[in-house]
């Protein structure tokens, strides 16, 4: 009998449990009212006197070992649950993290920066809240110049002093002025940024959009340099090298031109994009007006330069055939996610 109890002791010591249920079954088996221990205690009276001592000690040992085991297993299981509660199942395989996507405006902007940086243009920026001098006057648009009406302006302050207005810049050409004021030629810079116009919002136009301005000033810069640079750009940007320059007017350039790229008329989309002409207008440009150079303390007798400006939103709309400019600022992930692979 004593040997049998000893076997139980060994069994109890070796026992492991994976759940609270298993611990409870184990407890009932040994320590329950109808458990083995009680059976052994009942047996006690039948044990011959000379064995009573050893018998008693052995059952007591079984009782101690079984109680300790139950306590120990219970504690271990609760601790495990606690850890799982905080960290989840630590053995689960990791979940892949979804890649975010760049905004289509950023994608186009970065591509333009990349193309011009390859031919030595750096990137410059200026403030969106501008003064009259940098947005208009220095660019050969003095007070009451009719060409100011070409761009409907959001004024922040309109003080009495002439030329002291504070406004939201209507174009990134203001950065040209700031850059020339602070840097000596040779200058080769592009200036991307957000601009504002007081216009009714529709599918085709918004009260804010994005432009990239380009400026090149050095000795002996000619219109041929401008044309060559633009052709390089359209080839790299769109894979199209055929361009044409139509005479135009901007107060800050003379002569001025509008740049069209020949897109072709191969697909239905080409027809839509170019309104059946095959040509796509992509930017304005020209030779920097000598007055503008003078306003920025650069001697027009020594230096000449060219400048250009293009709308990033417009290019992004065209390239991706996006039907509504408002989609750029609505933050709808279903729209934005589509640019993931670009």
- Residues in contact with ligand DAH by CB under 6 A are 171, 173, 213, 250, 253, 284-286, 307-309
Distances (CA, A) of 142 to 147, 163, 290, 292, 318: 9, 8, 15, 11, 34
Spatial distance between the Cα atoms of 245 and 260, rounded to a whole number of angstroms: 6
Q: Quote the least distance from Cβ 288 to ligand DAH, whole Å.
A: 7
Nearer to ligand DAH, 66 or 187 (CB): 187
Beta strands (DSSP E) in 133-291 are 155-157, 166-168, 187-196, 208-218, 243-250, 253-262, 279-288
- Closest-approach residue to ligand DAH (CB): 309
Least distance (Å) from ligand DAH to the CB of residue 164?
22
Q: Are 199 and 191 in contact (CB under 8 A)?
A: no
**Nearer to ligand DAH among residue 254 and residue 270 (C-beta):** 254
- Cα–Cα distance for residue pair 310/230, rounded to 1 Å: 11
Output the CA torsion sign for 61, 67, 71, 72. Answer: positive
Q: What is the DSSP string of 13-30?
A: HH---SSHHHHHHHHHHH
Query: Please, are residues 180 and 289 in contact by the beta-carbon 8 Å criterion?
Result: no
Shortest distance (Å) from residue 311 CB to ligand DAH: 8
Nearest residue (CB) to ligand DAH, 23 versus 259 = 259
Minimal distance in Å, beta carbon 323 to ligand DAH?
23
Nearest distance, CB of residue 338 and ligand DAH, angstroms: 28
> Helices 104-117 and 223-238: crossing angle, nearest 10°?
130
Which residues have a Cβ under 8 Å from the Cβ of 295 and sit 6 or more positions away?
137, 138, 139, 140, 177
Q: Which CB atom, from 29 or from 227, has the smaller least distance to ligand DAH?
A: 227
Least separation in angstroms between CB 176 and ligand DAH = 6
Distance of CA 320 to the CA centre of its chain: 19
Minimum gap (Å) between residue 246 Cβ and ligand DAH: 12
Q: Cα 122 from chain centroid?
A: 23
Nearest-CA neighbor of 285 among 258, 315, 254? 258
Which of 36/190 has CB closer to ligand DAH?
190
Least distance to ligand DAH, CB of residue 320, Å? 22
């Amino acid at each position: 009998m004593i040997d049998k109890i000893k076997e139980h002791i060994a069994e109890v010591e070796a026992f492991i449990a994976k759940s609270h249920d298993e611990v409870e079954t184990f407890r009932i088996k040994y320590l329950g009212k109808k458990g083995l221990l009680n059976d052994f205690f009942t047996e006690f009276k039948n044990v011959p006197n000379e064995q009573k001592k050893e018998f008693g000690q052995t059952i007591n040992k079984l009782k101690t070992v079984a109680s300790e085991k139950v306590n120990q297993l219970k504690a271990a299981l609760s601790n495990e649950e606690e850890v799982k509660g905080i960290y989840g199942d630590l053995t689960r395989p990791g979940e892949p993290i979804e890649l975010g996507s760049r905004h289509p405006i950023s994608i186009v902007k970065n591509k333009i920066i990349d193309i011009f940086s390859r031919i030595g243009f750096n990137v410059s920026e200026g403030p969106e809240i501008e003064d009259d001098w940098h947005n208009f006057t220095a660019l050969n648009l003095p007070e009451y110049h009719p060409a100011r009406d070409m761009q409907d302006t959001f004024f922040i302050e309109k003080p009495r002093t002439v030329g002291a207005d504070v406004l939201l810049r209507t174009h990134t050409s203001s950065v040209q002025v700031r850059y020339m004021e602070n840097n000596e030629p040779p200058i080769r810079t592009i200036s991307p940024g957000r601009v504002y116009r007081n216009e009714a919002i529709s599918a085709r136009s918004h009260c804010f959009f994005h432009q990239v301005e380009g400026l090149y000033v050095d000795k002996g810069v000619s219109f041929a340099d401008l044309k060559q640079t633009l052709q390089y750009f359209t080839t790299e940007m769109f894979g199209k090298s055929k361009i044409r320059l139509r005479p135009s007017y901007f107060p800050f350039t003379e002569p001025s031109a509008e740049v069209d790229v020949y897109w072709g008329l191969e697909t239905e989309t080409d027809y839509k994009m170019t309104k059946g002409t095959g040509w796509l207008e992509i930017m304005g440009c020209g030779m920097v007006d000598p007055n503008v150079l003078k306003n920025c303390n650069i001697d027009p007798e020594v230096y000449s330069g060219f400048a250009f400006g293009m709308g990033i939103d417009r290019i992004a709309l065209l390239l991706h055939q996006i039907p509504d400019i408002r989609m750029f600022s609505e933050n709808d992930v279903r729209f934005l996610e589509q640019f993931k692979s670009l």
